[in-house]
């Protein structure tokens, strides 16, 4: 038996604008996403077919497909050839994205701060030199911080960056994120490859994070690439597992 089809409420598409700078497909997907979050489109319902939606809105089918595909990639919709497009059950979990911890926490209403532990130009470790594609022995900027949420330490962030960023003052990191500071300098952070694991906290980590000796930490290695495909950040981070975890949504393609 087929799930009944639900006609999209006309209201949610009332303010589509062809003149503004926002792409049509994005306006469409935003409206549908909003309708899913608000419950106007309940879990499990089947959407109208792509052609009909296009006709109703006076848009071409590829534009509608683009909008729907964006939501499929987010894990909010599933498509089935010969059947239709349905809303996925279950709560929406934001994907671990290229946003910073600062952004994460501000959304949760927590006050994020940092303390800089290390701020110096050093000879690049071999792994870093390889990632950056520079000579072994070249210099890089080495940064190590403790991150606090409402005054509680919950992460130790160690990063190696190109020397061009070494003139960022330690004070700038205390109330702003590395991600944001790098963006302001024109860096772009487009692709991030990370490995997430667990291990026992080291003695310095025990002290900095206020842990008991032998406590576990969540550990992540991360390399971030910019819009030209070059590495611009090699990071080794560790987190208090009772205060931080990674949320991931995967979609079969």
Determine the Cα–Cα distance for residues 131 and 118; give it in Å rounded to an integer: 21
1 CB neighbour count, 10 Å cutoff: 3
Per the CB < 8 A criterion, the answer to whether 131 and 230 are in contact is: no
Q: How far is the CB of 24 from DNA (least distance, A)?
A: 3
CB of 7 or CB of 97, closer to its own copies: 97
43 near its own copies, judged by CB under 8 A: yes
Q: Which of 56, 84, 67 is closest to 32 using CA atoms?
A: 67
Single residue of 48, 73, 103, 176 touching its own copies by CB under 8 A: 73
C-beta of 50 vs 233, nearer to DNA = 50
CB of 212 to its own copies, least distance (A): 10
247 binds, among its own copies, DNA, none (CB under 5 to 8 A by kind): its own copies
Which segment (13-21, 52-60, 96-104, 147-155) binds its own copies by CB under 8 A?
A: 96-104
Q: In 10 A of CB 169, how many CB atoms?
A: 9
CA distance 187 to 98: 13
Among 14, 17, 19, 80, binds its own copies (CB under 8 A): 80
Nearest approach in angstroms of CB 66 to DNA is: 6
**Taking the CB of residue 2, how many other CB atoms lie within 10 A of it?**
7
* CA–CA separation, 221 and 77 (whole Å): 31
Beta bridge partners of 239: 155, 218
Q: Which residues of 94-122 are buried (b: 16+ CB within 10 A; e: fewer)?
A: ebbeeebbbebbeeeebebbbeeeeeeee
Binding site partner of 19, from its own copies, DNA, none, Cβ cut-off 5-8 A by kind: none
| Stretch binding its own copies (CB under 8 A), from 27-35, 135-143, 155-163, 186-194 | 186-194
Nearest distance in Å: CB 170, its own copies: 27
Binding site residues, its own copies, CB under 8 A:
3, 43-44, 62, 73, 75, 77-78, 80, 86-90, 93, 95-98, 131, 133, 188-200, 214-219, 223, 225, 227-231, 241, 244-253
């Amino acid at each position: 038996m087929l799930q009944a089809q639900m006609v999209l409420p006309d209201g949610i598409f009332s303010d589509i604008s062809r003149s503004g700078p926002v792409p049509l497909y994005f306006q469409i997907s935003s409206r549908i996403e909003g309708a899913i979050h608000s419950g106007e489109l309940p879990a499990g319902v089947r959407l109208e077919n792509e052609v009909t939606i296009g006709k109703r809105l006076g848009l071409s089918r590829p534009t509608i497909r683009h909008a729907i595909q964006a939501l499929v990639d987010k894990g909010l919709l599933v498509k089935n050839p010969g059947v239709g497009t349905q809303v996925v059950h279950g709560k929406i979990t934001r994907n671990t994205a290229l946003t910073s911890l600062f952004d994460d926490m501000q959304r949760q209403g927590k006050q994020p701060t940092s303390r800089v532990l290390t701020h110096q130009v050093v000879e690049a470790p071999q792994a870093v030199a390889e990632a950056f594609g520079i000579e072994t022995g070249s210099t890089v900027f080495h940064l190590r911080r403790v991150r606090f949420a409402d005054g509680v330490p919950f992460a130790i962030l160690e990063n190696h960056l190109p020397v061009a960023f070494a003139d960022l003052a330690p004070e700038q990191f205390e109330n702003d994120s590395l991600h944001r500071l790098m963006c302001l300098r024109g860096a772009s952070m487009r692709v991030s490859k990370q490995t997430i694991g667990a291990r026992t906290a080291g003695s310095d980590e025990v002290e900095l994070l206020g842990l008991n000796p032998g406590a576990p930490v969540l550990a992540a290695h991360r390399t971030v690439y910019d819009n030209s495909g070059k590495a611009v950040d090699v990071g080794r981070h560790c987190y208090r597992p009772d205060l931080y975890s990674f949320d991931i949504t995967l979609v079969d393609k």
